[in-house]
Structure 1
Amino acid sequence: MLIRTETKDDFKHVFNLNYLAFEKRDDEAKLVERIRFSNCFIRDLSLVAEEQGEIVGHVLLSKAKIIQENGEKEVLVLAPVAVNPSVQKKGIGSNLIQEVLRRAKDLGYGLVLLIGHPTYYPKFDFQPAKQHGIELTQFIVPDDVFMVCELIEGELQRTNGELRYPPAFFR
Structure 2
Amino acid sequence: MNRSETEAILNVHRLAFGEAEGEEIAQLAEDLLEHPETISISVRRMGQIAGNVMFTPFVFEDQPDVKCYLLAPCGVSPEHQGLGVGREMMETSINHLRSIGTDAVFVLGVPTFYPLFGFVPTDKETPYPNLLTIPEAWMVLELIAGSVEKLGGKTIAIAPFMHAHLWDTSQHG
* Shared fold, TM over 0.5: yes
Q: Residue 23 of structure 1 aligns with which residue?
A: 18
| C-alpha deviation, 1:170, in angstroms | 4.0
Moved more, 9-18 or 106-115: 9-18
- Is the alpha carbon distance of 1:162 and 1:147 closer, same or farther for their aligned partners in structure 2, counting shifts above 3 Å? farther
In the TM superposition, 1:56-95 aligns within 5 A as 56-68=50-62, 73-95=66-88
Q: Residue 161 of structure 1 aligns with which residue?
A: 153
Let me know the Cα RMSD of the aligned residues.
1.8
SS in 2 for 1:135: coil
Match for 2:92 among 74, 99, 102?
99
In the TM superposition, 1:131-142 aligns within 5 A as 134-138=124-128, 140-141=131-132, 142=134
* Overall identity of the aligned pairs, in %: 25
Q: Residue 47 of structure 2 aligns with which residue?
A: 53
What amino acid sits opposite 1:17 in the alignment? V
SS in 2 for 1:23: helix
CA distance in 2, matches of 1:66, 1:29: 27
Note if contact 1:66-1:74 (Cα within 8 Å) is conserved in structure 2. Answer: no
State TM-score, norm by structure 1.
0.84
CA distance in 1, matches of 2:146, 2:90: 21
| C-alpha deviation, 1:161, in angstroms | 2.3
More strand by share: 1
State TM-score, norm by structure 2.
0.83
SS in 2 for 1:57: strand
Q: Residue 9 of structure 2 aligns with which residue?
A: 14
CA distance in 1, matches of 2:147, 2:23: 35
Moved more, 32-41 or 91-100: 32-41
Where structure 1 has 5 or more consecutive residues not aligned to the other structure, the ranges are 1-6
CA distance in 2, matches of 1:39, 1:54: 24
Where structure 2 has 5 or more consecutive residues not aligned to the other structure, the ranges are 164-173
CA distance in 2, matches of 1:136, 1:158: 16
Match for 1:117 among 102, 110, 123?
110
Note if contact 2:53-2:75 (Cα within 8 Å) is conserved in structure 1. Answer: yes
Moved more, 84-93 or 138-147: 138-147
Moved more, 159-168 or 103-112: 159-168
Note if contact 2:54-2:72 (Cα within 8 Å) is conserved in structure 1. Answer: yes
What amino acid sits opposite 1:10 in the alignment? E
Question: Residue by residue, what CA displacement relative to the aligned partner does 1:138-160 show, whole Å, maximum 9, x if unpaired?
Answer: 26122110111001112122222
Deviating beyond 6 angstroms after TM superposition, the runs of 4 or more aligned structure 1 residues are none
